[in-house]
Structure 1
């Protein structure tokens, strides 16, 4: 069986998930990957056969989306050409992790696909949303990468087609420790936005992962790290807690390890606002913005005696079997 797997490379989570899935997918057949988007920072150790600039999310300086830069980065004519050029009819199964180019290609070439991943979970109305829904956000969930079939991933099973998060082997096999540092991964924030707040807590050590950092180094109470999978896994496994955005993969791994999580969703990023709503239901502390007294909020979070929720890890082979059964079922 020949498999086509589309990765939306607007962030590292989609790539990390695909890397974990790859050896399991190989049990079902040969796999060719399509990488769409250009602002992920993880190395892609996968057999990527096709690429497109696609549509990528770009960030402002301190925690928001840069809509002008996003709009300027979209090349609809090139995306249409890329979609027409994908030889999808060569493949027996097309798996789409929320990529618009692949969805368009399926429509143009009249082939079926299955949307697989975190975004697929939002097809269900039962998946948590913030108090105020976004019409634009809901439209994107339904129409950005449409597919007749969906297999979702989320913190809990909100609907019958939603499965637990896919956790990396390094996390599954880890023996967590608490070496008291706080891991920080906030890719939508520049260093200048948060550095002073961290320095105002001199007794607390921070491991801060930044795309602009090239080599690991320590200044005062902050150790700066490049975005590197091995460094990050080690820091997460041994941290006391993590300050991160409103993504899916990183909070999932942290909660699986029973670590404290402080989530700061990207401003005006509806998917992250939805994830924040789900995290709140689990009892995780969420900040809608950093504010001027961020150091006080960090201290309050560290001192809070809330119980860390437990989440399950995905049984990948079982989930993939369900995916292939769903794909081949009548539409």
Structure 2
């Protein structure tokens, strides 16, 4: 027999048919066989292999699987392929012809991305170029891109080194290259899936392969743990796997999620995170495995939510957003196989949970609107009904619901719902607040022009304003674009704060003992309820609008509000209590689902 094609697999029901079909289409006249080395797949991988009349042998890590395949191989030549690759037309004929004409002992193939797009194509072109350049220095091959060799040479070097959990392909190529000739083939091309690139991101993949190549070039071995790299069946996959998805509007969800994500990673969970807009930008600068999705955005005008415009703005993109987001999340779910989904008020995670039948934990501050019993003024009844409907639409049927809150009205379902204390950034805990002269103004949007006019009419007072996305001084107003380090300093030294009704900023202000003048965005009932309780608890004031009388009255009462916060607000030294509750809830839900 001329050729044996060996493919290691683990849960590859999505990709395996593609490569087997591409092999079936080859116009290769000589005898060959296909051997699948399967690592105990739990999906339909083995059934698919059997339907294509493949031999099936036990697998494991890639090196083990390839060796097991080679042991039963009858071919003179061995071709090692990955299961997510696809052979181009006439690949086998071109590869073997060039291999034999150039009198080679081992060779690899150049690659082309299966998924089109400029980034995919340019990165694969660079990979081909670098592989060919390095091959002039020493035999090398990052990734099993069609390793072609003789079975006799495979046996002479005792196959792949099964003690290596990473770089076993490069080690194999180098050892055979020392006793024969190695080249990167010019003519045949192998189509390669970009799923690893999509899952880990270009930056992460580049760093990992650059690090591994540099070490291998000087003869050093590299491990999976060093690179934080995993195969589906490797040791790291024993960790519980979580999809964490969060609302991208504003930065409140992102800031607290940053604390939660770090904690979960430190606790040994494998995480993939989905976020949109500013939340994605914020988290992507701090963590790996952050994936961008599109989210819903609120339209603000004159410090008011415009419900009709918000509806029109979002609905025009819903069909494409729904398709693109769910396609990305579903594909990653099939690969990553999450044990649990956690949503911080993110809509698509809720849908995915129901589609793939994975338990869902909801953790946010929004669910106080629907899960608690409380009174609110009748003038807000329409806003309340609308906001409750939005919360119900975003998350349905969570297995457990955790609600961040600084006020605690009775819950409707205490068995499956509980309050947790707000998450505060560690940097806020470390601050030593003092009573400065400036008033810190923090806005969710830049639509409150009336507030700015009022601040200008108080030239004897100094205001530092965030939310208008600029660094600029206008007499007594100092505008700042968002910068965490700068915000910490402005926060700790503020005399008091003026804000909308954003939950995260309010809770951090309370932690620092800063009285709050809250002017919620009109029609946004979550902010309105936050502000109602600020006034009810004596921590500041709630007003639908602001004028000189309201500002003066608030400033006159700042000492009293400081006293109330100091005596009644339960301040913390860290987030451990809330994070421990989250971990307990995760383990409870996971144990129940097993």
- Residue 377 of structure 2, aligned match among 131, 153, 162: 131
- Residue 12 of structure 1, aligned match among 232, 251, 255: 251
| 1:266-314 C-alpha deviation (Å, 9 max, x unpaired) | 1001211222222222112001123xxx233111100013334213344
- What are the residue-to-residue correspondences of 1:310-321 with 2, within 5 Å? 310-313=569-572, 314=575, 315-321=577-583
Q: Which residue is equivalent to 1:70?
A: 310
Distance, in Å, in 2 between the alignment partners of 1:303 and 1:42 is 40
- What are the residue-to-residue correspondences of 1:149-298 with 2, within 5 Å? 149-158=400-409, 159=411, 161-190=418-447, 192-213=449-470, 215=471, 217-283=472-538, 284-290=540-546, 294-298=547-551
**Counterpart contact for 2:422–2:578, Cα < 8 Å:** no
Change (3 A) 1:209 1:41: farther
Distance, in Å, in 2 between the alignment partners of 1:46 and 1:223 is 32
* TM-score when normalising by structure 1: 0.89
Q: Which residue is equivalent to 2:333?
A: 88
**Counterpart contact for 1:246–1:263, Cα < 8 Å:** yes
**Counterpart contact for 2:403–2:420, Cα < 8 Å:** yes
Distance, in Å, in 2 between the alignment partners of 1:24 and 1:325 is 15
Task: Name the stretch that deviates more: 115-124 or 201-210.
Answer: 115-124
Aligned to 2:367, what secondary structure does the other structure show? Answer: helix
| 1:137-167 C-alpha deviation (Å, 9 max, x unpaired) | 2222223222232111101344451011101
- What are the residue-to-residue correspondences of 1:29-44 with 2, within 5 Å? 29-36=269-276, 38=277, 43-44=282-283
Task: Name the stretch that deviates more: 160-169 or 271-280.
Answer: 271-280
Distance, in Å, in 2 between the alignment partners of 1:42 and 1:52 is 11
Which structure shows the higher helix fraction? Answer: 2
Distance, in Å, in 2 between the alignment partners of 1:317 and 1:103 is 22
Distance, in Å, in 1 between the alignment partners of 2:495 and 2:406 is 21
Distance, in Å, in 2 between the alignment partners of 1:123 and 1:166 is 21
Aligned to 1:106, what secondary structure does the other structure show? Answer: helix
Distance, in Å, in 2 between the alignment partners of 1:29 and 1:165 is 22
**Counterpart contact for 1:84–1:105, Cα < 8 Å:** no
Q: Which residue is equivalent to 2:552?
A: 299
Distance, in Å, in 2 between the alignment partners of 1:41 and 1:210 is 18
* TM-score when normalising by structure 2: 0.51
TM-fit CA distance, 1:66: 2.9
Distance, in Å, in 2 between the alignment partners of 1:110 and 1:258 is 44
Distance, in Å, in 2 between the alignment partners of 1:245 and 1:256 is 17
Aligned to 2:424, what secondary structure does the other structure show? Answer: coil
Distance, in Å, in 2 between the alignment partners of 1:17 and 1:157 is 20
Whose Rg is larger? 2
Distance, in Å, in 2 between the alignment partners of 1:322 and 1:6 is 19
Distance, in Å, in 1 between the alignment partners of 2:289 and 2:549 is 45
Q: Flag structure 1 segments of 5+ consecutive residues without an equivalent.
A: none
Distance, in Å, in 2 between the alignment partners of 1:111 and 1:154 is 27
Higher relative contact order (CA 8 A, sep 6+): 1
Distance, in Å, in 1 between the alignment partners of 2:280 and 2:479 is 16
Change (3 A) 1:329 1:308: farther
| 1:59-117 C-alpha deviation (Å, 9 max, x unpaired) | 11x21113344222332222332224413351122110011111112222222211112
Distance, in Å, in 1 between the alignment partners of 2:500 and 2:588 is 32
TM-fit CA distance, 1:10: 1.1
Task: Name the stretch that deviates more: 260-269 or 201-210.
Answer: 201-210
TM-fit CA distance, 1:3: 1.7
Distance, in Å, in 1 between the alignment partners of 2:273 and 2:314 is 22
Q: Flag structure 2 segments of 5+ consecutive residues without an equivalent.
A: 1-239
Q: Which residue is equivalent to 2:291?
A: 50
Q: Which residue is equivalent to 2:263?
A: 24
Distance, in Å, in 2 between the alignment partners of 1:84 and 1:41 is 18
Change (3 A) 1:153 1:178: same
